[in-house]
Structure 1
Amino acid sequence: MTLKQLEYFKEICKHNNFTKAAGELYISQPTLTLAVHQLEEELGVLLFVRKNRRATLTREGEFFLDRITSILLDVQKLEDEMRYLAEKKNLVRMGIPLMISVKMYPILFKDFLSEFPEIQIEISESGALGIIKNIIDETIDIAVTSLDHDYSQFLVERKLFESRICFCVSRQHPFAGRASIRFDETLKEKVVMFSGGFYINKLIQSHYDRLNAKPNSLLSTAQLYTIKSLISNNIAGAFLLEDCILPSDNIAAIPLQENIVSEIGIISKKGARSYPGAEQVVRFFEARFPQNLLP
């Protein structure tokens, strides 16, 4: 029994006619008739009753059609999946949070792609917690993001570096000249917060909770540009990763004396299928930040 015989059989059932089925399959009717005859001989049953040019299924034929329908659907699904894998081998679906993108995009789009131009990068931007969910749901393959060890059971984590969380203010702000600042000194300052899904919120909120305090929040937004604009115009401060502040920003990033840091690393889902392009990205970043790799 061959797959082609099953496809021939299914086409005859579709038209209840050998001649029409042969035309749709672009083969001669004698070739189709012979294939079905050989199939019937192999199975030891009659699949069709042929009368007045009409092919009617026997009881055995109906049973056979019911069974092979799911088989042919599975074969089609497998073919589609294999074609997808072939197309995807050099496509990397990658998540990078906004703050980390400031540091990682030049490395990824300049250094990595100049070395591996055949690899396609498809970026998903959101907060770290949203990106972790996408990794677990397998809507993205890998991510460079803050490591939230509450999800370690689901993830393969490779630490790359640490980034300090700073209290960021305008360079015209009285705090701007400070070498460091205590967290409690920021309580009276208006702050802009990231909206839900950002891991930095989780870290910062834990420090507010320890002081039994709440942020003096002016605004919550998912836009890093908006936050930086409000800071640089001396309207509010914000807690940001040190690595997302550029020299061109009118922003002073003041380290916290509590030394709050975020571990940045590459994550993927445990047990998920691995693709060559994604593996190449992982190797590239591991080589770029070799001193901080986890054992």
Structure 2
Amino acid sequence: MELHQLEYVVAVAKHQSFTRAASEINISQSSLSQQIKKLEEELGVKLFERTTRKVKMTNAGNAFLAHAQKVLMEINQSKKTIREYLSVSRGRIKLGVLPVIGHFRITSLLANFQRNYPGVKMEFREGECNELLQMVMASRVHAAFISEASENPHINIHRLIKDHAVLVVNSMHPLAARDSIELAELAREKFILAHPSSGLYKNFAKACAAAGFEPDILYHCNQVETSLELVRENLGVTVLSSQVAQRYSKRDIAITKILPEIPRRISLVTLKDTEHEPVVNIFIKYAVNWASELKKQNQ
């Protein structure tokens, strides 16, 4: 008895036809019939009743089929286990990341994953949200960390980190002493903001429109350090994610909460309806569990 004979029995039982079964498993009908006959002779029983119109399982055939399916399932599971082992022992995962990803402790996630799976090689490609989303859609990366992921029929979204936007002003600015400020009060300010393709800019511009004004933008800048230096020179105010702002020196600047709150989220996105390598699925599960534990620690 050989493994392929079990597969042939399952295929014939599924289609109740030697012709359709042979087509599915890509062999000739005569070869399929010979293999089934050989197996029946070895077992000493008929597995199928053949008529001119269809093929029907015998009682012995039904009993054998259940065991054949179980054996094939266990073999497939064994193969999957070995693939996963090989994947995490010498696999590769390509990740898209935002320039500010380190401020959201994602680097801690990556380091922890690497320590747990030292055989996995990680490759990183940096970009803004739209660029990263296109990388995922084109399968240039297996997954990407992006902010403000919107619903997309082709994308799986795993939400990891929740944050909010804050206002950063010069320490001598009239708003520096405020703990919070209504967004509408900022209508006359000059802004230093991230590039329009960034998730932060899109969320802020949308919130400003809801508050009844369009921000007066002095300068678009994706470098946080540059934005803060311009604020220190009192050339304007900027808007950053709270976790990003807290990472920098508070020299000559003040951080104020914006009301109503402008949410910021970091999500891991992957291409939907795609059979990923085992290492990719392991990474996704690891990232989701990591975010869940981080949320518990912050409660």
Aligned residue number for residue 231 of structure 1: 231
Deviation at 1:242, TM superposition (A): 0.8
Deviation at 1:262, TM superposition (A): 1.9
2:88–2:117 Cα contact (<8 Å) kept: no
CA RMSD of aligned residues (A): 2.8
1:100–1:243 Cα contact (<8 Å) kept: no
Identify if the C-alpha distance between structure 1 residues 169 and 92 changes in structure 2 by more than 3 Å, giving closer, same or farther. farther
1:141–1:278 Cα contact (<8 Å) kept: yes
> Does the residue aligned with 2:181 lie in a helix, a strand or coil?
coil
Identify if the C-alpha distance between structure 1 residues 140 and 170 changes in structure 2 by more than 3 Å, giving closer, same or farther. farther
Give 1:241's aligned amino acid. S
Q: Aligned to 1:283, which of 282, 285, 291? A: 285
Identify if the C-alpha distance between structure 1 residues 88 and 271 changes in structure 2 by more than 3 Å, giving closer, same or farther. farther
**TM-score normalised according to structure 2 size:** 0.61
Partners of 1:270 and 1:214 in 2: CA distance: 36
Give 2:134's aligned amino acid. K
Give 1:228's aligned amino acid. L
1:107-126 equivalences under 5 Å are 107-126=108-127
Partners of 2:255 and 2:282 in 1: CA distance: 34
1:7-22 equivalences under 5 Å are none
What are the Cα deviations for residues 100-158 of structure 1, in whole angstroms up to 9, with x where unaligned? 33223431343332332222222222222221122112111111222432x42111111
> Does the residue aligned with 1:254 lie in a helix, a strand or coil?
strand
Partners of 2:290 and 2:101 in 1: CA distance: 15
Q: Flag structure 2 segments of 5+ consecutive residues without an equivalent.
A: 1-85
Identify if the C-alpha distance between structure 1 residues 181 and 99 changes in structure 2 by more than 3 Å, giving closer, same or farther. farther
Aligned residue number for residue 242 of structure 2: 242
> Does the residue aligned with 2:158 lie in a helix, a strand or coil?
strand
Aligned residue number for residue 207 of structure 1: 207
Give 1:199's aligned amino acid. G
Deviation at 1:284, TM superposition (A): 2.1
Among the aligned pairs, what percent are the same residue?
A: 17
1:52-63 equivalences under 5 Å are none
Aligned residue number for residue 39 of structure 2: none
> Does the residue aligned with 2:264 lie in a helix, a strand or coil?
strand
Q: How many residues align?
A: 208
Q: Flag structure 1 segments of 5+ consecutive residues without an equivalent.
A: 1-84
Q: Which runs of 4+ in 1 moved over 4 A?
A: 85-89
Deviation at 1:213, TM superposition (A): 2.2
Identify if the C-alpha distance between structure 1 residues 157 and 176 changes in structure 2 by more than 3 Å, giving closer, same or farther. same
Partners of 2:286 and 2:254 in 1: CA distance: 32
Deviation at 1:219, TM superposition (A): 0.6
Aligned residue number for residue 129 of structure 1: 130
> Does the residue aligned with 1:161 lie in a helix, a strand or coil?
strand
Partners of 1:88 and 1:223 in 2: CA distance: 37
